[in-house]
Amino acid sequence: MVRSFFGFIGRRGFEFVDTSADFFREISGLYYLTRSTLYCTFIEPLRGKPIKWRPVWTQMEEVGVKSTTIVFLVSFLIGVILAFQSAHQLSRLGALEFVGALVGVAILRELGPLMTALVMAGRVGAAFTAEMGTMKVSDEVLALETMALNPVKFLITPRFLALLIMLPCLTIMADLMGILGGFLIGTTTLGIDPVVYINNSLDAMVVKDVVTGLIKSVVFAVIIVMVGSYMAFIIEGGAEKVGQNTRTAVVVSMILVIIADLVFTSLFFFVF
């Protein structure tokens, strides 16, 4: 009994050592892939190997333009929900007309960038892993290598640039839609005077809120692309791995996005 108990603990201990070794191997793999992506994207073009923009445009359409509907819808609804929720609390304090300020700041600083990144992690991160994972499994990545073409430059760089450009754009549009959602509810259902609503909002929001939101969304873009690509590139063997890794990519990039959000929010909290 006692022996089996310690046996159990011992086994758990070894499992823990194993998993943490795995964990650090994944982290360092992710780090090296990110490094070579940054090199291929920003350093190599300076050394006379210009970036081809056509695949970047294709990816921008794929990840950006085609995501607008869902991003608009989600952020608009978040604005509406936020207005309702805050109205209840603020009216008890007799400060109903500050709904606009609360909605505006919350969306700009936090919910706009975060919700957009989470939606994109599900929509785009999954697509990245599935596409590139299928290419890995069917030897297409190996084919690139044997043609002396760098798969990182060929597959990851266009996606990286596309999301790096499109995620902040989508975030700005999400901010606007969220604020619009709050405004519509505030001025109709809640009966706040539009001029008061707008004045209060503008008083509360500052440029810094937008900038910090955009800085975050750039970081989120890097996380989504790198996790999605890494999960695709480590696939060995059959097609069932593609499904598994796609799921892992979405889960891991969502968690990392939220952790990064926490880190940056606290950073901005203490620094600014």
Partner 1 sequence: MIEINHLRKSFGEGDKKIVVLDDFNAKMEKGQITSIIGGSGSGKSTVLKHLIGAYTPDSGEIWIDGEEVSLLKGEAANSVRKKFGIMFQSGALFNSLTVEDNVALPMREHTELNESTIQIMVKMKLEMVGLRGAEHLKPSQISGGMVKRIALARAIALDPKIVFYDEPSAGLDPISIGVIDKLIMDLSHKMGITSVVVTHEIPSAMRISDKIIMLFKGIIIASGSPDEIRNSDDPRVQQFIEGSPDGPIPFSKSQTDYGEELKEMSQV
From the list 148, 195, 207, 271, which residue makes contact with partner 1 (rule: CB under 8 A)?
A: 148
What is the smallest separation between the CB atom of 86 and partner 1, expressed in angstroms?
Answer: 46
What is the smallest separation between the CB atom of 12 and partner 1, expressed in angstroms?
Answer: 21
User: Is residue 26 a contact point for partner 1 (CB under 8 A)?
Assistant: no
From the list 15, 18, 139, 193, which residue makes contact with partner 1 (rule: CB under 8 A)?
A: 139
User: Is residue 17 a contact point for partner 1 (CB under 8 A)?
Assistant: no
What is the smallest separation between the CB atom of 242 and partner 1, expressed in angstroms?
Answer: 14
User: Is residue 4 a contact point for partner 1 (CB under 8 A)?
Assistant: no
User: Is residue 146 a contact point for partner 1 (CB under 8 A)?
Assistant: yes
User: Is residue 143 a contact point for partner 1 (CB under 8 A)?
Assistant: yes
Residue (60 or 119) nearer to partner 1, CB: 60
Give the whole-angstrom CA distance, residue 29 versus residue 197: 50
Residue (65 or 143) nearer to partner 1, CB: 143
Binding segment (CB under 8 A) for partner 1, from list 29-37, 111-119, 132-140, 178-186: 132-140
From the list 46, 147, 207, 271, which residue makes contact with partner 1 (rule: CB under 8 A)?
A: 147
User: Is residue 22 a contact point for partner 1 (CB under 8 A)?
Assistant: no
Q: Which residues contact partner 1 (rule: CB under 8 A)?
A: 134-135, 138-140, 142-143, 145-149
